[in-house]
Amino acid sequence: MNLPLIPALQELSDSLLLQKKIRVFILREDLIHPHISGNKWRKLYYNIQAAKSKGVKKIITFGGAYSNHIAATAAAGQEFGFKTLGFIRGEEQLPLNSTLSYAKGCGMELRYLSRSDYRLKEKSEFLQSLLDNEKDYYLIPEGGTNELAVKGCEEILINLSIDFDYVCCACGTGGTISGIINSLKSHQRAIGFPALKGAGFLKEDIGKYVCNSQWELNLDYHFGGYAKVKPELINFMNSFKTKHQIPLDPIYTGKMLFGLWNLIEKDYFRAGSTIVAVHTGGLQGIDGMNDRLKNKGLQIL
């Protein structure tokens, strides 16, 4: 299991950056793999190795109907020879959306849990009842975050050819930024942009994995909550793509870049700063979001 591509570092050229004397580089982790892209490859890498060394046949995990993690786990199962089972939040909706039909096409078995049952999955008795008839499996939590995922994310910055002052990353469960934080040099700082509303709890979750305090979360750019979007976000993403030829996803990287841009405009960073923004992938979610945006007259290009 080798990295299929070396991710590229792309410097942005923009009048705002010239005016503020700030350099921004996008770390194109989204280019790692066509279907196990960005942080998904990093989070799954050591988990797949562990599943292989345990000799199990199946990987079981959890996610929402538009989950990047579900799509990537299904692809990884197909590529590395595991059966996959995904417990999906909510009732089955037919026809399947693009994420779930992709996962199914990779051979993933989909089982649906009502929202109330889905919430119980952290309780060991309920989890046991779900897995009663399963044997020989490797369990990966929702969002893919565990110790091995954090270990994988500690490798995101290792081959960077430039020095930087700040690294920015979108956050869901906080696993990705935890790995990034652990790999910082002493003069560097990480800023996390949670995609969820009211994500203060993430401070504690991240705190469990990290070994320094060179980080902060900015809770201001969730756009109403997980998977919620507003016209200003979609317009920003579309003009970003037109200007820099870099597609962003509406749930994570679009919000992170919007936030970073806004902070630069507000002089949050001193002149002369160099910032790396990690493109954690998630582009598979664009089709599903575009289906939902049709009735609002919006479209991600």
Window 260 to 299, contacts with ligand PLP (CB under 6 A): 280-282
CB neighbour class for 17 (10 Å; exposed up to 12, middle 13-18, buried from 19): middle
Q: Taking a C-beta distance cutoff of 8 angstroms, is the pair 4, 255 a contact? A: no
Residue at token pair 């919620």: 228
Binding test (CB under 6 A) with ligand PLP, winner from 7, 64, 174, 250 = 174
Q: What does residue 239 show for φ and ψ, rounded to 5 degrees?
A: -75, -30
**Side chain identity at residue 184, one-letter code:** L
For residue 135, the minimal CB distance to ligand PLP (Å) is 28
Helices and strands of the chain, counted as H and E runs = 12, 10
Place of tokens 């700040």: 166
CB 66 within 8 A of CB 99: yes
Binding to ligand PLP by residue 142, rule CB under 6 A?
no
Q: Is 171 in the site for ligand PLP (CB under 6 A)?
A: yes
Q: Is 89 in the site for ligand PLP (CB under 6 A)?
A: no
Q: Does 68 bind ligand PLP (CB under 6 A)?
A: yes
Among 7, 175, 247, 250, binds ligand PLP (CB under 6 A): 175
Kindly identify the residues of this chain, within the stretch 23-52, that bind ligand PLP according to CB under 6 A: 38-39
Position 180 contacts ligand PLP (CB under 6 A): no
Nearer to ligand PLP, 78 or 145 (CB): 145
- State both tokens at 132: 């009663």
Task: Give which of 179, 206, 210 is closest to 194, Cα–Cα.
Answer: 206
Considering only 80-88, 113-121, 166-174, 262-270, which stretch makes contact with ligand PLP by CB under 6 A?
A: 166-174
Closer residue to ligand PLP in complex, CB, 68/84? 68
For residue 60, the cross-strand partners are 85, 139
Q: Pick between residue 176 and residue 188 the one whose CB is nearest to ligand PLP.
A: 176
**11/67 Cα distance (integer angstroms):** 29
Q: How far is the CB of 120 from ligand PLP (least distance, A)?
A: 21
Task: Considering the complex, state which of residue 143 and residue 259 has its C-beta at the smaller distance from ligand PLP.
Answer: 143
DSSP codes joined into one string, 157-194:
TTT-SS--SEEEEEESSSHHHHHHHHT--TT-EEEEEE
Residues 217-256 that bind ligand PLP (CB under 6 A): 249, 252-253
Positions in the binding site for ligand PLP (CB under 6 A): 38-39, 68-69, 143, 145, 170-176, 249, 252-253, 280-282
